[in-house]
């Protein structure tokens, strides 16, 4: 009640200031803020709408931004209110990682950091600060949506029923997909280069223990893990099964947050690790990753060996699949006889696994591999080429195009998982839409009369 009274006083003051200062604002060209919506105990300010309107991600918005943006913010307030009730949380590390990713994307789009600052009319530091609060709310909303829909399921009968009476031209168009097999060799790294990296990490550990520099500062300066280096090497809470086994064994053995681990080798490179906190069976750590340099002569040697292997396969001395099983050094595919698998996040939170890749998906995984496969015929074996794998390591590869499925209208028999995902997503959207409409009925909502004249997606705002 007290909070509601304070909010009302703030609204009255904002309106009074607006009326009193409007003429002055026109002369001085100052922007005066005002409360334009109230949802529950939360106010939506005109400045919030203006800030989001300048956001590059809203540049392609459909409809009047002064209608669409306030409604999106109002929906967000409904979810945030429920998230607070349900004690939903997100970590600072998750938010910072997302913020940096967005800023990097925007800098690339704008052309430079200076152009982005000019477009946004604020320095990068202020952009980062504003985005932190905004994306914190967005991530909370997403987690709340996931919780609301976590029990939604669909049966095969529901999928068949949904698409049974749809005309063919209403079925989704499945893009061209490929199935790819690979044989991978890692260039050999000399022992002296491995020792150099280990000594480098031991030097960092000595500086940390002796108080010369903090672990976080050294991680920002030197760690080669793009996902954590900006956060001072800090990682989210993770269980043992989510980490590389060698990394996990050393990390979870740490008990003193002031100490630094010995150098540990993982599939990603070499690390030193520091404990931050433990909660039950999960741990929070920071680390510094360093990778040995790969010499061109060693890359050339791996490419030459693969060229010989490919030649033997073409001469039918052994099959591509046998080479993948017994020669390949790629742990993700050798037990699958070289066949790559595409793992996707489903709407139900589970992982969908298929051997089919759209070309865009393959390019996201490896641009080099996608370029090679794009021009291949079914059954063809590529020339050896260099690429960066999912662990950000330089490897050498030959590829075989096992199959290419041309673009087609989806069918139950061929594309059941795709159709199931569509039905599941639609069922979840219906549940969320119903939830928003019910929440509107039980929530206090007030909209400034100058902001009411809109064709809202959810008409229940105006009461």
The total number of structural domains that make up the chain: 4
What is the tens place of the pLDDT at every residue in 173-195? 999 999 999 999 999 999 999 99
* 432 alpha-carbon distance from chain centroid: 22
pLDDT of 12 > 60? The answer is no
303 shares its domain with 330: yes
Is pLDDT larger for residue 120 or for residue 330? Answer: 330
418 assigned to some structural domain: no
The stretch 202-207 carries a mean pLDDT of 96
Which of 229, 259, 290 is at the close of a domain? 290
253 and 235, same domain (yes or no): yes
Would you say residue 156 lies in a domain?
Answer: no
Amino acid 351: pLDDT: 64
Residue 37, both tokens: 């919506």
Of residues 318 and 415, more confidently modeled: 318
pLDDT over 60 at 302, yes or no: yes
Looking at residue 26, its pLDDT comes to 37
Q: Are residues 101 and 122 in the same domain?
A: yes
Q: Are residues 285 and 241 in the same domain?
A: yes
* CATH value at residue 440: 1.10.4030.10
pLDDT of residue 2: 37
272 strand-pairing partners: 288
Where residue 347 falls among pLDDT bands split at 50, 70, 90?
A: low
Contact status, residue 372 vs residue 385, Cβ threshold 8 Å: yes
Does one domain contain both 139 and 43?
Answer: yes
> Poorest-confidence range of 2-16, 181-195, 417-431?
2-16
Q: Which of 290, 323, 346 is the last residue of a domain?
A: 290
pLDDT of residue 353: 83
Residue 417 lies in a domain: no
Domain shared by 87 and 233, yes or no: no
Same domain, 257 and 321: no
pLDDT of residue 19: 35
In a domain, 195, yes or no: yes
Please state, in angstroms and rounded to a whole number, the distance separating the CA atoms of residues 278 and 357: 38
The answer as to whether 385 is a domain residue is yes
3-state secondary structure the chain: CHHHHHHHHHHHHHHHHHHHHHHHHHHHCCCCCCEEEEECCEEEEHHHHHHHHHCHHHCCCCCCHHHHHHHHHHHHHHHHHHHHHCCCCCCHHHHHHHHHHHHHHHHHHHCCHHHHHHHHCCCHHHHHHHHHHHHHHHHHHHHHHHHHHCCCCCCHHHHHHHHHCCCHHHCCEECCEEEEEEEEECCCCCHHHHHHHHHHHHHHHHHHHCCCCCHHHHHHHHCCCCCCHHHCCECCCEEHHHCCHHHHHHHCCCCCCCCCCCCEEECCEEEEEEEEEEECCEEEEEEEEECCCCCHHHHHHHHHHHHHHHHHHHCCCCCHHHHHHHCCCCCCCHHHCCECCEEEECCCCCEEEECCEEHHHHHHHCHHHHHHHHCCCCCCECCCEEEECCCCCEEEEEEEEEEEECCEECCCCCCHHHHHHHHHHHHHHHHHHHHHHHHHHHCCEEECHHHCCCCCCCHHHCC
Q: How many other CB atoms are found less than 10 A from the CB of residue 418?
A: 15
Q: What angle do CA 142, 148, 154 make, to 5 degrees?
A: 110
- Compute the average pLDDT of residues 220-241: 90
**What is the pLDDT averaged over residues 155-162?**
92
| CATH for 400 | 3.10.50.40
Residue corresponding to tokens 């063809």 = 380
Phi and psi torsions of 206, nearest 5°:
-65, -40
Model confidence at 89, pLDDT cuts 50, 70, 90, reads confident
Residue 166 region, left (φ>0) first, then alpha (ψ -120 to 50), else beta?
Answer: beta
From first CA to last CA, the distance across the chain in angstroms is: 21
| β-sheet with 42-45: strand ranges across | 42-45, 35-39, 445-447
- In this structure, the answer to whether residues 381 and 435 fall within a common structural domain is no
**Is pLDDT at 23 greater than 60 in this prediction?**
no
In a domain? residue 164: no
Domain that holds residue 401: 176-188+295-406
Other CB atoms within a 10 A radius of the CB of residue 183 amount to: 29
Residues 56 and 144 in one domain: yes
Say which residue, 447 or 135, is predicted with more confidence.
447
pLDDT: is 115 or 71 the higher one?
71
Task: Give the CA distances from residue 451 to residues 48, 229, 292, 405, 456, in Å, rounded to whole numbers and listed in that order.
Answer: 14, 44, 59, 51, 11
How far is it, in rounded angstroms, from Cα 75 to Cα 52?
15
Taking the C-alpha atoms of residue 456 and residue 68, their distance in angstroms, rounded to an integer, is 7
Quick one: 306 exposed, middle or buried, by C-beta within 10 A (0-12, 13-18, 19+)?
Answer: buried
* pLDDT at 348 exceeding the cut of 60: no
Q: Is the pLDDT at 5 greater than 80, yes or no? A: no
Distances from the Cα of 327 to the Cαs of 273, 330, 335, 381, 395, in angstroms? 33, 9, 11, 16, 14
The label of the residue with tokens 């910072």 reads 96
**Spatial distance between the Cα atoms of 145 and 456, rounded to a whole number of angstroms:** 21
Is the same domain home to 121 and 38?
yes
Q: Are residues 301 and 277 in the same domain?
A: no
In tens, the pLDDT along 96-144 reads 878 887 888 888 788 888 888 888 888 988 888 888 888 888 899 999 9
Q: How far apart are CA 178 and CA 405, in angstroms?
A: 6
pTM of the complete model:
0.68
Residue 158 domain flag: no
Q: What is the pLDDT of residue 29?
A: 40
- Are residue 214 and residue 344 in the same domain, yes or no? no
The verdict on residue 208 lying in a domain is yes
d(CA 401, CA 403): 6
Q: Bigger pLDDT: 84 or 286?
A: 286
């Amino acid at each position: 009640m007290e909070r509601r009274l304070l909010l009302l006083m703030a609204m009255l003051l904002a309106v009074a200031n607006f009326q009193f200062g409007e003429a002055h604002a026109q002369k001085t060209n100052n922007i005066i803020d005002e409360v334009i919506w109230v949802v529950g105990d939360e106010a939506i300010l005109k400045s919030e709408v203006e800030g989001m309107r300048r956001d590059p991600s809203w540049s392609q918005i459909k409809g009047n931004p002064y209608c669409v943006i306030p409604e999106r913010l109002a929906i967000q307030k409904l979810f945030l209110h429920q998230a607070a009730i349900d004690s939903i949380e997100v970590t600072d590390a998750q938010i910072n990682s997302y913020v940096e990713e967005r800023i990097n994307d925007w800098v690339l789009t704008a052309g430079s950091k200076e152009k982005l600052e000019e477009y946004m009319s604020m320095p990068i530091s202020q952009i980062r600060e504003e985005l932190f609060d905004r994306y914190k709310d967005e991530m909370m909303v997403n987690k709340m949506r996931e919780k609301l829909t976590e029990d939604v399921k669909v049966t095969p009968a529901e999928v068949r029923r949904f698409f049974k009476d749809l005309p063919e031209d209403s079925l989704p168009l499945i893009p061209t997909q490929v199935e790819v097999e690979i044989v991978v060799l890692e260039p050999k790294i000399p022992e002296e280069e491995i020792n150099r990296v280990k000594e480098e990490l031991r030097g960092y550990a000595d500086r940390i223990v002796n108080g010369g520099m903090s672990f976080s500062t050294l991680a920002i300066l030197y760690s080669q893990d793009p996902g954590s280096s900006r956060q001072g090497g800090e990682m989210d809470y993770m269980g043992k099964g989510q980490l590389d086994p060698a990394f996990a064994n050393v990390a979870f053995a740490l008990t003193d947050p002031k100490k630094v681990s010995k150098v540990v080798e993982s599939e990603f490179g070499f690390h030193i690790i520091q404990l931050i906190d433990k909660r039950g069976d999960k741990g929070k750590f920071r680390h510094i990753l360093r990778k040995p340099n790969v010499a061109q002569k060693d890359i050339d040697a791996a490419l030459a060996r693969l060229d010989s292997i490919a030649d033997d396969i073409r001469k039918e001395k052994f099959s591509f699949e046998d080479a993948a099983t017994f020669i390949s050094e790629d742990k993700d595919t050798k037990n699958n006889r070289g066949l790559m698998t595409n793992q996707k996040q489903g709407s139900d939170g589970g992982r969908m696994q298929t051997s089919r890749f759209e070309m865009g998906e393959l390019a996201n995984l490896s641009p080099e591999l996608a370029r090679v496969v794009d021009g291949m015929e079914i059954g063809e074996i590529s020339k050896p080429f260099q690429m960066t794998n999912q662990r950000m390591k330089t490897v050498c590869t030959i590829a075989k195009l096992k199959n290419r499925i041309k673009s087609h209208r989806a069918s139950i028999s061929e594309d059941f998982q795709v159709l199931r995902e569509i039905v599941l997503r639609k069922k979840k959207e219906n549940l969320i839409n119903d939830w928003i409409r019910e929440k509107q009925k039980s929530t206090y909502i007030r909209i400034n009369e100058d902001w009411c004249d809109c064709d809202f997606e959810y008409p229940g705002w105006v009461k």
